[in-house]
Amino acid sequence: MAHSKLAIVLPSMTPGSAGRRIAVHRFGRAGARPKAYLQAAIHANELPGAMALHHLLPMLVQADRRGRIKGEVIVVPTVNPIGLSQLAGNNHLGRYDFLGRDNFNRNWIDLAGAVCERVEGRLGRSAGDNIAAIRAAALAALAAMKPMNELQTLRVEVLKLSIDADIALDLHCDNEALLHLFISRRDWPGAAGVLAADIGAQATLYNDPYPEHLTFSGVNSALWARLAQRFPAANIPQACLSATIEYRGQHDVSHALGEADANNLYRFLVRRGAIAGRAGELPRLKAEATPMAGMDAGYSPKPGILVYHAAKGAKVSKGMPVCEVIDPADARGPKARTQIVARTDGILFSRKLDGKLAWPGMVVFRIAGSKILAHRKGMTNLDD
Ligand SMILES: [Zn+2]
């Protein structure tokens, strides 16, 4: 029985300003299993996940009072105070670090190398022993780090909370999108299939085995895949289900959605044994997982005004125009419009809003398709 609220204090970056703080809620006994870690708004302008956690937190407080937290649950409702503070010209930005221009969800610390050095020669047939050794090595590697600035400190301190978890969920959102998930193929169908069913994911995309760029959920997941590749003779399971959950579009924030999403997350935590209770029957899976190499991304070829033909969630087929970019300076009417077509059959799970200014190279839609696309092979880059 322990709910505690603590704060991670980041170093101050400028004279006269205090260090920013990250609020962290802990439930259950430290070291109890399973350990679940949930965070929202690393892209600080993506708040639907924070809304879900706003509704989940009182449920966890009540479960804790009743002694029902069996594992350990850590919740960080808004993990990025640096991004939260990015107010500019009456807009809230929150996606890229002003100092280094880094996307806040890239370049997380890949601990695999440091962990390999620490566990070399110590891994064997026992999955349990291997998991414990790898987690201890990862925490030791983080403890040895001496971050210099506030963003580095944020990354090190947050990974200390997540890297030894059994479940790490990073809550994001898109512009205009269905509820979708990014996972590792190593977790599918298994643990990620259960998560997808419980939260009602309408599309699930898997990296095989992990994303090339270092997203938060990517580094938490890739640790296990990389160690398994490095030590093939040792028994190294995928010990952490790490996933990015995209809670629809940026403005899909309401108490009804937040409450439903919190109920679903809670039921998933019950199903995984972190909270006592009965989860009931697993909801029907809404969509099979599809490969990242089968995900078509549409790019704007030129600058202009963006207008869509297809709504989010639409089934599209190869060759179908999804949207167009209008050159406002061109007087030729329809000839001023450039169509951007689907290059696969699938579900249009993500797009922008009508009327947005488009620029060359901007991602304007994403389609989840099951066929591997030659133009996507080896490309797992996405602007999540
Ligand atoms: Zn995001």
Tens digit of each residue's pLDDT (9 = 90 or more) over 188-203: 999 999 999 999 999 9
Burial of 378 (0-12, 13-18, 19+ CB in 10 A): exposed
Cα 244 to ligand 1 centroid, rounded to whole Å: 9
Cα 338 to ligand 1 centroid, rounded to whole Å: 28
Mean pLDDT of all residues belonging to the chain: 96
Q: What is the pTM of this model?
A: 0.97
> Is residue 384 scored above 70 in pLDDT?
no
φ/ψ (deg, to 5) at 108 = -70, 165
Cα 320 to ligand 1 centroid, rounded to whole Å: 28
**Look-up of token digits 């100092």:** 99
Cα 197 to ligand 1 centroid, rounded to whole Å: 21
C-alpha distances in angstroms, 188 versus 138, 204, 206, 360, 371? Answer: 24, 10, 8, 35, 17
> Is residue 381 scored above 80 in pLDDT?
no
Give the residue from 229, 212, 197, 370 showing the smallest Cα distance to 293: 370
Cα 325 to ligand 1 centroid, rounded to whole Å: 24
Q: Count other Cβ atoms within 10 Å, centred on residue 188.
A: 18
Cα 6 to ligand 1 centroid, rounded to whole Å: 25
Cα 105 to ligand 1 centroid, rounded to whole Å: 7
For the chain, give the percent of residues with pLDDT over 70: 98
Q: Who wins on pLDDT, 375 or 131?
A: 131
Average pLDDT of the segment spanning 53-82:
98
Distance CA 189, CA 288 (A): 9
Cα 127 to ligand 1 centroid, rounded to whole Å: 33
Average pLDDT of the segment spanning 315-336:
98
Distance CA 247, CA 203 (A): 11
Strands 91-92, 35-40: parallel, antiparallel or unpaired by DSSP? unpaired
Cα 59 to ligand 1 centroid, rounded to whole Å: 25
Cα 200 to ligand 1 centroid, rounded to whole Å: 19
Cα 215 to ligand 1 centroid, rounded to whole Å: 10
> Is residue 214 scored above 80 in pLDDT?
yes
Average pLDDT of the segment spanning 56-77:
98
Could you tell me the pLDDT band of residue 375, with boundaries at 50, 70 and 90?
confident
Cα 225 to ligand 1 centroid, rounded to whole Å: 23
pLDDT one-digit tens code per residue, 233-272? 999 999 999 999 999 999 999 999 999 999 999 999 999 9
Per DSSP, the three-state class of 332 is coil
The answer to whether residues 354 and 308 touch, using CB atoms and an 8 Å cutoff, is yes
Cα 66 to ligand 1 centroid, rounded to whole Å: 34
What number of CA atoms fall less than 13 Å from residue 141's CA on the CB side? 21
Distance CA 245, CA 137 (A): 27
Cα 349 to ligand 1 centroid, rounded to whole Å: 15
Residues whose CB is under 5 A from ligand 1 (ion)? 43, 46, 172
Cα 250 to ligand 1 centroid, rounded to whole Å: 10
Cα 282 to ligand 1 centroid, rounded to whole Å: 27
Displacement of CA 44 from its chain's centroid (Å): 13
Tokens describing residue 43: 């892209």
φ/ψ (deg, to 5) at 224 = -75, -40
Cα 76 to ligand 1 centroid, rounded to whole Å: 15
Cα 384 to ligand 1 centroid, rounded to whole Å: 5
Distance CA 131, CA 60 (A): 27
Cα 211 to ligand 1 centroid, rounded to whole Å: 15
DSSP secondary structure letters along 168-188 = EEEEEEESEE--EEEEEGGGT
pLDDT one-digit tens code per residue, 74-127? 999 999 999 999 999 999 999 999 999 999 999 999 999 999 999 999 999 999
Cα 16 to ligand 1 centroid, rounded to whole Å: 31
Cα 46 to ligand 1 centroid, rounded to whole Å: 6
